[in-house]
Structure 1
Amino acid sequence: MSFQAYLNNIQAKTGKSPDEFKSLAEQKGFLQNGKLVPSVKATDVTNWLKDEFQLGHGHCMAIWALFKGKTD
């Protein structure tokens, strides 16, 4: 599955776009000015996404990659 397909599936499941996830992550303190806060670990983000959005691990890691700057 391509990275974009993961993002499309996440949006279909949650109703949230990648930009909306970035905004939510800023509110949670995971991102600052669009960049990952150095102390934030992948587990912090994946636990949040699993708990709040019921995403599977692969989809959570796609969001983590998005936060790290992956674009394609």
Structure 2
Amino acid sequence: MSFQAYLNTIEQKTGKTPDDLRTLARERGWTQGAALAPNIKPMAIVAALKDELGLGHGHAMAVVALLKEHRKEGDA
């Protein structure tokens, strides 16, 4: 599955676009600029996304990669 396919599935399941997810992360204090905030552990984000949005582990990890800017929309 491509990274973009993960993002598409997340949007279909939750209605949240990558920009929506970035906004959510900023509002929650998970990010600072284009990186995770120093006190934020990736697995804390994963747990919140699983609990609140019903994402599976792989899809939640894709969001973390998006927030860390390791991957971007359109990546294969």
Judge conservation of contact 1:26–1:34 (CA < 8 Å) in 2: no
The 3-state SS of whatever aligns with 1:55 is coil
The residue that corresponds to 1:36 in the other structure is 36
Aligned length: 72
Q: Structure 1 length normalisation: TM-score? A: 0.93
Counterpart for residue 22 of structure 2 = 22
For residue 2 of structure 1, what is the amino acid of its counterpart? S
Find the aligned partners of 1:56 and 1:64 in 2 and give their Cα distance.
13
Which segments of 5 or more consecutive residues in structure 2 lack a partner in the other structure? none
Shift of 1:41: 1.1
Residues 14 and 53 of structure 2 are in contact (CA less than 8 Å); yes or no, is this contact kept in structure 1?
yes
CA contact (8 A) 1:30 1:37 kept: yes
Structure 1 residue 35 displacement after superposition: 2.7
RMSD (CA atoms): 1.0
Q: By percentage of residues, which structure has more helix? A: 1
Unpaired runs of 5+ residues, structure 1, are none
- Larger RCO (alpha carbons 8 Å, 6+ apart): 2
For normalisation by structure 2, the TM-score amounts to 0.88
3-state DSSP of counterpart to 2:39: coil
Deviations 1:17-42 (A, max 9, x none): 01001101111110123431122111
Moved over 2 A (4+): 32-35
